[in-house]
Amino acid sequence: MIALLPFVAQAQVLQPDDSHLDVVPRTKAEIARIKAVTAPPTDFSQPQKFEENSAGAASVRVRDSRDAFSAMSGNMPFARELDFKVGNGIFRKLWVSSPSSTLASDGLGPLFNARSCQRCHLKDGRGHPPEPGDENAVSFLMRISVPTPERVTSDLESYLSTRPDPVYGSQIQDAGLAGHKAEARIGVSYTETEIPLSGGEIAVLRKPLFTLDDLGYGPLAKGAVLSPRVAPQMIGLGLLEAIPAADILSREDPDDADGDGISGRANIVWSAELQRPMLGRFGLKAGQPSIRDQTAAAFLGDIGISSSLHDAAYGDCTPAQDVCVAAVHGDQDERVFEVDSETLDLVTFYSRNLGVPKRRNVNDPQVLRGKQVFYQTGCTACHTPNFVTNRLKNQPEQSFQLIWPYTDMLLHDMGAGLADNAPEARASGSEWRTPPLWGIGLTKDVSGHTRFLHDGRARNLLEAVLWHGGEAQASRDTVIQMPPSDRAALIRFLESL
């Protein structure tokens, strides 16, 4: 769970910036060009200029296979390709328990969720949510937080304080090495609700009820809140990291000053790498500020691997799990951490440079109509179509690219239906970061399913739309009431992204 107290004292002077990047400031001429190229369309009879290239020059051709999300940035210099391939190898490799003769691969656990990064982000795509009776679901996490009664207040905003469970830590580890009990088994059941749509159509939504069975270390703390999470797709992360913080913050409207019903706001989180508060960008609630922070946190929480950013060799185990804390680990002999800085850098580089496939069918009349519906329905109030990334000195792949991720990177209240009731830094229990939509139409090709939203409850894109509430309630109701042909066109447009 994100630690809030270390930086609350600094919050009064907090100005989130791009200090994690080597940025070349924009000129006045560039600012004018960017404003022109990111202006909303006025003509929906044809695609916008450059719209096909979702990631600008970093876009990659569409692969008609499960490898559609696994290509490197399309503009990567040849000299950097080896780093990408080595990073891919580390991303895919299976970690083993200590002690092992393979020092570069030991340190797993003792409690963990997966033995490799690839096991959660299958083929660099979305994870697989569990189904009733499925006790072996991978790529699915159950976060835990225990709300505290205190509210820590600054001039910037009120922060909701939470803490990990004193026994189970920040997330449930559903696997363990020999001699270590798994913390629990995740179960799920569903209740169904029919939603009448215009034209006599019916949609059926499934509401999940998740349970923790076979708790291995006693009960959870009183008031503990569970937050189910499906591993998200990996494409385009470096480009999202390169969006200027000022461009993201300019879209904040926490008090809905413009009266459009949308009140997005930024999450501000602690960077373990830079030891300072920063703009949250990654994770379902924007709980991590950079790819390197996100990578190190995943090594620790999901695999039980220590690094210079998180030095606990026993991963997410707590002092109450004394056998786990005392177990043999990989931070021994000549090694200080189970993942050294070079290895962490290579995985970060790989994650930063997974290419975004180009759009498909941008000239199709139904897709163009769906795009118009997307705009008219108000979807772009949160799913901002395009940005231009920072000009960067040492990241040619992400430098000064016109990208089309369809996200504002901000937190939005999505209503009681999608609430997990788990605060995370600034994010409340009903707020989620707007997810990028690029590549969403290739989900089935890559992941073998079309399960969407944070816990995978939606079985298709229409269901995902119909679960929208809170700030998106008006748009969701419009989708229900619009002519069936427009609804079909909207889904067709989403599938083209």
Could you read off the pLDDT of 179-220 as tens digits, one per residue?
Answer: 999 999 999 999 999 999 999 999 999 999 999 999 999 999
**Residues facing residue 208 across a β-bridge:** 190
Torsion of CA 430, 434, 439, 444, to 10 degrees: 10
Contact between 354 and 492 under an 8 Å Cβ cutoff? The reply is: no
**Contact, 406 vs 441, CB < 8 A?**
no
pLDDT surpasses 90 at 340: yes
How much is the pTM?
0.94
Average the pLDDT over each of 253-267, 331-345, 355-369, 432-446 and give the range with the smallest value.
331-345
Confidence check: pLDDT of 159 > 60: no
Query: What tens digit of pLDDT does each residue of 393-430 get?
Result: 999 999 999 999 999 999 999 999 999 999 999 999 99
Residue 5: predicted pLDDT: 44
Mean pLDDT calculated for residue range 147-162: 56
Alpha-carbon distance values, 324 to 2, 9, 312 (Å): 22, 34, 11
Q: Around Cβ 444, how many Cβ atoms within 10 Å?
A: 14
Per-residue pLDDT tens for 47-61? 999 999 999 999 999
CA distance 190 to 234: 28
Mind giving me the DSSP string for 260-278?
SS---B--EEEETTTTEEE
- Is the pLDDT at 13 greater than 60, yes or no? no
Percent of the chain with pLDDT over 90: 85
Maximum alpha-carbon separation in the chain: 69
Tokens 């494409």 belong to residue: 235
Residue 137 pLDDT class (50, 70, 90 cuts) = low
Q: How confident is the model at residue 8 (pLDDT cuts 50, 70, 90)?
A: very low
